[in-house]
Amino acid sequence: MSEKDEISWTERHKRDNAPQTVEPDTAPKKRLLFASGRSRKDPIFDTPVSDLGTIKQDKPLSCGSIDMTFLLIVLGLLLFGVIMAYSASSIYSEQQRDDSLYYIKRHLMFIMLALAVTVPFILKARPWFWRFFAIASYGGAVALLLLVLLIGQSEGDAQRWIQLGPITIQPSEIAKLAVAMTMALLMTKYEKQIMSDHKFGGNFRYGVLLPGACMGLIVLLVAAERHISGVMIICMIGAAVMLLGGTKMRWILLLGGAVVVMGTLLIVFSSYADTRLDIWLRIDELDPLGEAWQTLQGLYAIGSGGLFGLGLGNSRQKFGYVSEPQNDFIFTIICEELGFFGAVAVLLLFGLLAWRGFQIASKAPDKFCALTVYGIVFKTVLQAALNIAVVTNSMPNTGISLPFFSSGGTALAIQIFEMGIVLNISRFSYVDK
């Protein structure tokens, strides 16, 4: 594509005024999920729900097969994750639960559960469905975040979980997805205004204020949980979606600056964050049994693995030295057992996920789908990078799990579902006639 071809979706919409008629998928409509809602109007786009929105294509929307490359990458991560989750958790599991399989069984259970929920969506969902899903998830996230403040489980200062029978729900994980999708929706709906040269009522209101408010509500609620890493990740996802959605560069830079200032203030006024920061800076002076033990023991595990590792299953640090080795610090066990090559394999898989995910996004049928895929892939890789940065002491310790690897839980299920969204969207594209 060259610069000349650059036309906004809005313009294209005007040009291709004719209603979309082509349904490339020849399958009967009732087999499509929520296909019956076709006649209803999309509350945001103000168009029939089956209409993908602001874009009017001259090519028919085709529903192909899912992106196999992406699927393989995801399956690779999941498989690798299962193996390492078992290796890392077995000892801890044995000690805590008298059953070395406890955590891996839980891990597999969540994978099964997540696949059972996700697969139908991959197969049946139409791209427009995710717009409803976006709004629903946003509403759900806000509700859950409020709930968690009322009845949540707390650990230390932080209050982050809702116990639901055997399952703990961490609403901030849902909130991340909700923010990404809802903002994608807004950035798509108000694309014209965002692109306009009017500051107020134009690119600032719709490019910054509206998505900012959408994100801000969630951020406030997550901050009320004292979940710093959650706030940070949500802000970064939001910023990424805004950036990709077309917010003017100057606002992005301005917001970036503001975030830096806010973050600094947060660290200064929160003793909790302050302690973490202090540990980060003085790590090597600290007592390995003292406050920095989590991070230090993680470093011991990584460092002592060497280039080639101790061999799968041979970690020494998982014997109670690395804190909950099946969880946030699982990457250190990977490094210890599989060495630098194991670590690179993990990084490579996430790198590939980013590459392929972004490719899918660039071919997505509409801007909303594209931004959704961007947001999800960005979120996943960002979490992985932050987790690895934390355990390698490249940044202060804050509780971030490693997607697909950290043992079981709703977070794993949500991550799988997110991959399902990407895979579903990967099926749809406008094909050349």
Partner 1 sequence: MIHLNVLRRARFVCIALVAVLVLLAVRILWIQTAQYDRYQAKVIEQMTTESTVNADRGNIYDTNGILIATNITTYRVFIAPRTIAEAQAEADEQGEDVNLAELIALGLSERLYDGYDVTYYDVLEQTTYTRYLDRTIARQVDEKTADSILAFIDENELERMVYMEATGTRYYPYGTLASHMLGFTGSDSTGLYGLEYSYDTLLSGTPGKYIVARDAQGNEMPYEYEEYIEAVDGYNLTSTIDVFIQAALEEQLRTAYEESGGQNRACGIAMDPNTGAILAMATYPPYDLNDPWQLNSYDTATLLSSGLAGDSEDYAKLKSSLLLNSWSNKALNEAYIPGSTFKIITSAMALEQGVVEEKDSFTCNGAYYVSGIKIRCHKTEGHGHLTFAGGIQQSCNPILMEVGLRVGLEAFYDYFNAFGYLSKTGIDLAGEGNSVFHAQDNFRVLDLATASFGQNFKITPVQHIRAISAVANGGYLVTPHVVERVTDDNGNVIEEASTKQVRQVVSTAVCAQISRILEAGVSQNGGARNAYVAGYRIAAKTGTSEKIGDNDDAYICSCVAYAPAEAPAICALIMVDEPTKGFLYGSTVAAPYIAKFMETVLPYMGVEAEYTDEELAKMAVTVPDLRSYTIEQATAAAKRRGLAVRVVGSGKYVTSQTPQGGTKIEKENGLIVIYTGDSTAQSTISVPNLSGMSAMAANQTLINSGLNIRIDGTQSYLSGTGAAVVSQSPAAGELAAPGTVVSVTIRYLNEQDLE
Footprint on this chain of partner 1 (rule: CB under 8 A): 1, 3, 5-9, 12, 55, 57, 91, 95, 240, 243-246, 288-289, 299-307, 316-317, 319-321, 335, 339-340, 343-344, 347, 350-351, 354-355, 358, 361-364, 367, 370, 374, 378, 381-382, 384-385, 388-389, 392, 394, 430
Tokens of 53: 């929105």
Nearer to partner 1, 141 or 369 (CB): 369
Nearer to partner 1, 178 or 382 (CB): 382
Nearer to partner 1, 309 or 409 (CB): 309
Tokens of 180: 């990404």
Q: Which residues of 342-368 are buried (b: 16+ CB within 10 A; e: fewer)?
A: bbeebeebbebbbebbbebbebbbbbb
Nearer to partner 1, 159 or 317 (CB): 317
What is the closest distance, in whole angstroms, from the C-beta atom of residue 392 to partner 1 in the complex? Answer: 5
Pairing of strands 61-63, 167-169: unpaired
Nearer to partner 1, 214 or 346 (CB): 346
* Distance in angstroms (rounded) separating the CA atoms of residues 222 and 167: 20
Residues 6+ apart with CB under 8 A from 271: none
* Distance in angstroms (rounded) separating the CA atoms of residues 365 and 54: 11
What is the closest distance, in whole angstroms, from the C-beta atom of residue 299 to partner 1 in the complex? Answer: 6
What is the closest distance, in whole angstroms, from the C-beta atom of residue 239 to partner 1 in the complex? Answer: 10
Residues 6+ apart with CB under 8 A from 387: 328, 331, 400, 401, 402, 403, 406
Q: Which three-class secondary structure state does DSSP give residue 62?
A: strand
Q: What is the CA radius of gyration of the chain?
A: 23
What is the closest distance, in whole angstroms, from the C-beta atom of residue 241 to partner 1 in the complex? Answer: 10
Nearer to partner 1, 271 or 362 (CB): 362
Distances (CA, A) of 145 to 114, 138, 151, 274, 391: 22, 10, 10, 25, 27
What is the closest distance, in whole angstroms, from the C-beta atom of residue 9 to partner 1 in the complex? Answer: 7
**H or E element in which residue 317 lies:** none
What is the closest distance, in whole angstroms, from the C-beta atom of residue 185 to partner 1 in the complex? Answer: 15
Q: Which three-class secondary structure state does DSSP give residue 168?
A: strand
Is the CB of residue 114 less than 8 Å from the CB of residue 412? Answer: yes
End-to-end CA distance of the chain: 19
What are the helix (H) ranges across 7-128? 9-15, 68-97, 102-124
* Distance in angstroms (rounded) separating the CA atoms of residues 331 and 80: 11
Nearer to partner 1, 132 or 358 (CB): 358
What is the closest distance, in whole angstroms, from the C-beta atom of residue 13 to partner 1 in the complex? Answer: 12
Is the CB of residue 144 less than 8 Å from the CB of residue 171? Answer: yes
Q: Which residues pair with 167 in a beta bridge?
A: 164
Q: Classify residue 5 as exposed, middle or buried by CB count within 10 Å of its CB (0-12, 13-18, 19+).
A: exposed
Nearer to partner 1, 364 or 400 (CB): 364
What is the closest distance, in whole angstroms, from the C-beta atom of residue 17 to partner 1 in the complex? Answer: 17
Nearer to partner 1, 77 or 162 (CB): 77
What is the closest distance, in whole angstroms, from the C-beta atom of residue 3 to partner 1 in the complex? Answer: 7
- Sign of CA pseudo-dihedral 100, 72, 414, 161: positive
Pairing of strands 428-430, 167-169: unpaired
Nearer to partner 1, 162 or 194 (CB): 194
What is the closest distance, in whole angstroms, from the C-beta atom of residue 406 to partner 1 in the complex? Answer: 17
Nearer to partner 1, 372 or 410 (CB): 372
